[in-house]
Structure 1
Amino acid sequence: MEVEYPQTTAILHDLDVNAGNSADDENVDVEKPGDSDGEEAFKGGWSSAIYIMWSEIAERFAQYGISSNLMLYLTKELHESLVDAAETFYAYVGFSALLPLLGAFVADSYTGRYMAVVYSSLIYIVGVLTLTVSVGFVSEPYKKVSFFISLYIVVLAQAGFRPCIQALAADQFNEDNEKQKRAKNSFFNWWFFGIAAGASAAAVVVSYIQVAFNWWIGFLIVAISMILAFLLFIAGSKLYQVQIPKGSPWTAIVQVLVAAFRKRRITPIDGTEQEVFNTGPQEALSPTNQYKFLDKATIIDEIDKSSEVQNPWRLCTVTQTEEVKMLLRLLPVWLSTLMFFVVIVQPHAFFVQQAAAMDRKILAFTITPVAFIVSVGLFVIITVPLYDWGFVPLARKITNIPSGITVLQRIGTGLVISILDMVVAAMVEARRLQVARDHGLDDEPKAEVPMNVLWLLPQCIILGIADIFGIVGVQQFFYEQIPDGMKSIGSAVYLSALGVGSLLSHVLVSTVAGIFPHWLTNNLNASRLDNFYWLVSGLSIIWLGFFLIVSNSYVYKKPAGAAPH
C-alpha cells in the first residue's frame, strides 16, 4: 500500500506517526503516480525521484571519497602493512556490500524504506563527521581505534541507506501507467549515470585534496556531501510515494514451505481441477508451472473445509506460493552473474597497477593511476544518454518491448562484453610485457614501461559498456522480479552479488598466487598478469553458459490476468 507523507515541517515526528499506521487500514487513501487526471494531484514520477537521485549522487560522492584513497591512508598514515591494509579494505568492501541484506530486511519488515533512509542518513552523517575528527584531530594511540570505529559506523549506515534509496526512487513510478512504465525503464539507466558521476567526481576531487592538501579536509568535504544528501532527500518528502511495511515477508514464505510439506502426500485428482485457496480480486500473481510441489500449499483439503478459521500454516494463497517460487527462480540468476562482478572489480585491483607501471603523460599532463581509471565512470556518463535516447528507441521498434530488450537479454549482453574486456586486457598486458622485455625492464619493478597509458583506454571503455548493460540490468532485474513486499531486499541482492564477486576475486587471486606464483608477483613487469586475465575470461565463458541455461528457463513475474512475458 502507498500513502502520502506530510509536509517537511516537523518531518521526523510526523513520519514516525505515519510509519506506525497499519498496512490494512481501509481509511488510508492510496494514490499511485499517474492514476489521477489532475496534474495537481500528481505525486511520484520524476518530480519526486529526482530528489532521491540527487541525494544518491551526493552519497556516492561521499562513499567514493572514503574508499578511493583508503588503501593509501591505511599504509601511509596508519602505517599498516600492505597485507593488513588489503585485508582491511576487503573487509570494508565486503561488509558494505553484504550488510545491506540485513538493512533491507529491517526496512521491508518494520521501518519502511523512507524511514530507513532517514535514520541511516543521520547515522551516516555522524560516521563521516567522527571520521573527519579522527583523521585530523585525534592523536596516537587513539587515532587508529577512532578511525576504525568511525569507518564501521559508516558501514552500518550504508547497510540501511544503499538498498533502500534506489528501491524508494523506483517506487515513484507506476507500472500500471504505460508512460510511467517507460519512464521507469529509463530511470535505472539515469540512476547509474548519477552513481558514475558522483563516484568519478570523488575519485578525482577528494583523492587529490587528501593527498595534495590535508586528509581531514578531504574527509570534511565527504561529510558536507553527506549532509547535502540528507537535505536533498528531505526536501522532496512531500512528493514521495511511500509504501508502508506489512510485517516480515519471511513469515509468509515459511508458511508456504510448511504448508506444502504438511500436504506433501496430496495428489491431484485426474481429470478434475483441484480446489485451491484464492482470495479473488486481491490475488496479484498468476500460477506458474515451475516448482509445482509448492502448489500443494494452496490445495483445500478436508481439514481446511471443516475449519471455521483457515490455518495459514496449512493453507496459503496462490500469490504467497508464487512469491516463494519467484525467490527460488532468482537464486540461479544471482549465481550466474557472480563471475561478471569478478571482472567489474578488476579496475580497482590490477588496472590501477598497470597504469602505474606505464607512461602516464598525456599532452603536457602526467595523470595519476586512479585518475585514469576514472575513465570507466566518465565513459558511462557519456554512454548512458546514447543508450537511453538512441539504442532503446531503435530496439523498441524492432522488438516492441518498452525497454528495447528484456532485462535478462541486457544482463547477458553485459556478460558477453565483460568477456571481451578481459580478452582485450590480456592482449594489452601481453604487449606491455613485451615492451618491458625489449627495453630490459623486466627485472626493474619500479620502472615505467615506455608504453603510453592510453593503451589501457580500450579495456576501460569496454568495461564501461559492460557496466551499462550488466550492472544496470542486474539492478533492474532484482528490483522488478522480487516480491512486492521485498523491494529493498531486491536492491540488496544486487549489492550482495557485487560483494561476493569481490570476495571471489580475492579467492581467485590467492589461488592463482599459490598455484602459479610467477603470474602475480610484486614486480608487475616480470609477472604474467595477461595469463590471469585469460583465466578470468575462460571462467567467464563457463559462467555465461550457465547464465544462458538459467535465463532460457526463467519464468518472469506475471501479474494475475497479464499475458505471458
Structure 2
Amino acid sequence: MDGGTGSTRLSKSCVLIIVVASIERFSYKGVASNLVTYLTDVVKMSTSSAAKSVNTWCGVTSMLPLAGAFLADSYWDRYSTILVSSLLYVVGLLALTSRALLWANTSSASSSSSSASLFCSLYLISLGQGGYNPCLQAFGADQLENVEDDELPCNNVKESTNKKTSFFQWWYFGICSGSLLGVSFMSYIQDTYGWGWGFAIPTIAMGASIVFFSCGSRSYVHKQSKIVEKPFDAIVHSIKEAVRKLLGGRISLLPRDSDGFELELQEKKALQVKIDGSKSSDMNPSSCELPFDGARAILRLLPIWAMLLTFAVIFQQPSTFFTKQGMTMKRNIGEDFMIPPATLQSAITISIILLMPLYDKIIIPIIRIFTRDDKGCNVLQRIGIGMFLSIIAMIIAAVVESKRLRISRKPDLLLSRTSTVPLSIFWLLPQYILLGISDVFTVVGMQEFFYTQVPNRMRTIGIALYLSVFGVGSFLSALLISVIELITSSSRQKHSWFSDDMREAHLDNYYWLLALLGTLSLFLFVNLSKHYNACKDSPNESGK
C-alpha cells in the first residue's frame, strides 16, 4: 500500500509477523465460526445455551488481552509473552482436538465432566489469545522503527507515521484473509470429514505459525525502555493523585473558550526533568519514561473508547440476527443448491479484502478533495467515517426487515404456514457489504489510534484497549437484548422483538434503535474528537 506520502515499504520481519497473524486467525476462526453447530449437534446443548456460551467465550477472549498487555508491559517483554501465550494456545487446541476425537468414538458425550473439559480447553485458548494478540500486533509495529522514539509518540516523523498506517492496513488485510479461509474451508471440513479433522487442522496450523515466528528471531527489533514505574502502578498512582487534588480543591477547569480545553484535567504538555549536576543518559526521554505521562495517556483514551462501544454492538449482528433473517428468506439457487445463511458473513471479509488495497489509491484521493489535506483524513476522522457507514448499514437492515415482515404477513402466506418468505436472501447483501467497508475505516483506525496515542512501553496495552472494545461490546449486546426482551415481553404486545416466530418479531425496531444509539455515539465522538489533544507533530493523529 502506498500510504499517501513517503516510503511505506515494510521490512521482512513485518511481513513475516503479518503472515503469522493471518495463520492464527485461520486457526481461531476455524474453531469459533462453527462452534455453535458443534455445541448443538455434538454436545447436545440447546440453541439458546449454545449461543450464550459462544457469546460469553468470545467476550472473555476479547477482554483477556487487557490482562495480557499489562503482564507484557509491566513484567515481561512482548517477544517472551508471544512465545508463552502461543504455547498455551496450542495446548488448548490440542485439548479441544483430543476431546472431539474421544467424543467421536463415544456413544455418550453429554456428561457434565465432558462438557467441563470442553470449556476448559476453550478458555485455555482464550488465555493464550490474551497474551498473543495484543503483543503480536504491537511487536509487529515495533519492527517499523529502527531508532528509538521519544517518550511519547508525539515526535514520530512523517515517514514513520506513513509506515505505521501501511502496517495496520496490511495487518488487517492479512487477518481478514486468514479469517475468510478459516470460515469457508474449515466449515466444509467439519461438515464433511468430522470434528476431529475440523479441530486438528487449526491446531497444526497454529503450531506451524510458532515455528515461522521463531525463524525470524534473529531479525526482530526488540524495543525496551527503562521503566520508572510499572504501567499498572502508574495508572493507579495517577488516579489517586487526581482524587487527592480533587478533594483538596486544587483542580480548576479551563474556560470553555480556551484553546487549551482538553479531555484530561489541565494536563501539562510533558513532565520536564531537571537533573542537578551533570547530564545523565539514564534520564534521556528516549530511554526513560515517566509514570504520569503513561497513566494520563491511558485515562484520556477512555472517553473515545466508550464512544466506540455502540459500533462494537452493531458488529455483533451479522453472526446473530442477520443470520436469523436469512434463514426465513428465499435461499435457493436453481433447484438443488441452498445458500447457508451464515455464508453471507463472508461478504464482510471479502469487502475488506477487496477494498483494503484500493484505500490509498482511490478512497484517499476522493477524501482529499473534500478535506484538502495531503493525508486525506486523520485517524479520528477515519474512525468517524466508519461509524457513520455502520449507522447507514443499520438503517438499510431496518428497511429490508420491514419489507420482509410485510411480505411474511400477507394473508396467503399466513394460511400456507410456510416459514420461507418469497424475498431473496441477497437483499441482505448491502448491509453486510456496508459493514465491511465501515470495518476498513473504523477498525484499522482504532488499531492505529490506540497504538500511537500511548507511550512506547504501554503500546501493548493500547492494542489491548482496541480489542477490549469488542469484548465489552459483546457483553453489552447480550445485555441490551435481555433488557429489550424483558420490556417488550412484559408490555401489551403479544410477542417480543426477538420472538422465535420471525413473522411476529420486530427486528426492524431493534435495528432502528441501534441506528439511533449509533448516531448518538457518533455525535458525542465528533465532539470529543474536537477537544482531544492528540500529538501535534504527527499529522495522522491529530484530532483537530
User: Does the C-alpha gap of structure 1 residues 194 and 299 become closer, same or farther in structure 2, counting only changes over 3 Å?
Assistant: closer
1:551 lines up with 2:516 in the alignment = no
> What is aligned with 1:458?
430
Contact 2:69–2:134 (CA under 8 A) maintained in structure 1: yes
Q: How many Å separate the matches in 1 of 2:448 and 2:370?
A: 22
Does the CA-based 8 Å contact 1:182-1:403 persist in structure 2?
no
Q: For 1:194-273, list aligned pairs within 5 A.
A: 194-244=174-224, 246=226, 248-256=230-238
> Does 291-300 or 235-244 show the bigger shift?
291-300
* Partner residue, 2:482: 510
Higher relative contact order (CA 8 A, sep 6+): 2
2:442 is aligned with 1:470: yes
Aligned pair partner of 1:93 in 58, 62, 81: 58
Distance 1:454 1:93 in 2: 28
Alpha carbons of structure 1 residues 300 and 376: separation in structure 2 relative to 1, 3 Å: closer
Instruction: Kindly state the Cα deviation for residue 438 of structure 1 after the two structures are TM-superposed.
Output: 2.6
1:292-316 deviation per Cα after TM superposition (whole angstroms, max 9, x unaligned) = 5665996999xx99xxxxxx9xxxx
Contact (CA 8 Å) 2:383, 2:442: kept in 1 or not? yes
Tell me the distance in 2 between the aligned counterparts of 1:495 and 1:563.
19
Across the aligned residues of Structure 1 and Structure 2, the Cα RMSD in angstroms comes to 3.2
Q: Distance in 2 between matches of 1:359 and 1:402?
A: 47
Matches within 5 A, 1:104-115: 104-115=69-80
Match of 2:118 among 147, 153, 171: 147
TM-score using structure 2 length: 0.83
Query: Is the contact between residue 414 and residue 469 of structure 1 (CA under 8 Å) also seen in structure 2?
Result: yes
Tell me which amino acid in the other structure corresponds to 2:528: V
Offset at 1:128? 0.7
Q: CA deviation at 1:256?
A: 4.6
Q: 2:137 aligns with which of 166, 174, 199?
A: 166
**How many angstroms does 1:341 deviate by?**
0.8
Gaps of 5+ in 1: 1-43, 269-286, 306-311
| 8 Å Cα contact 1:189-1:388 kept in structure 2 | no
Per-residue CA deviation, residues 130-162 of structure 1 (Å, 9 max, x unaligned), is: 111101125444532321121111111011111
Moved more, 209-218 or 92-101: 209-218
Moved more, 92-101 or 135-144: 135-144
1:133 is matched with 98
Match of 1:521 in 2: 499
- Between the aligned partners of 2:382 and 2:140, the Cα distance in structure 1 is 21
1:168-227 superposed Cα distances (whole Å, 9 cap, x missing partner): 111122385544431221221121111211111111111121122201111011111211
Q: Name the CA distance, whole Å, in 2 between partners of 1:524 and 1:504.
A: 23
SS in 1 for 2:465: helix
CA deviation vs aligned residue, 1:470-498 (integer Å, no higher than 9, x gap): 11111111111122211111111111110
- Unaligned stretches of 5+ residues in structure 2: 1-8, 150-155, 252-259, 277-282, 490-494
**Residue 256 of structure 2 aligns with which residue?**
none
Q: How far apart are residue 330 of structure 1 and its match?
A: 0.5
Moved more, 100-109 or 248-257: 248-257
Number of the residue aligned with 1:390 = 362
Aligned partner of residue 450 in structure 1, secondary structure: strand
Task: Name the counterpart of 1:409.
Answer: 381
CA distance in 2, matches of 1:544, 1:443: 44
SS of alignment partner, residue 534 of structure 1: helix
**Out of 390, 393, 399, which is 1:418 matched to?**
390
Quote the Cα distance in structure 2 between the aligned partners of 1:87 and 1:388.
40
Do 1:266 and 1:296's aligned partners in 2 also have CA atoms closer than 8 Å? no
For 1:65, give the aligned amino acid: G
Give the TM-score taking structure 1 as reference length: 0.80
Q: How does 1:28-43 map to 2 (within 5 A)?
A: none
Q: Deviations over 1:339-385 (max 9, x none)?
A: 11111111011111111111112467422111122111111111111
- Range 126-135 or range 434-443, more displaced: 434-443
Residue 557 of structure 1: CA displacement? 2.9
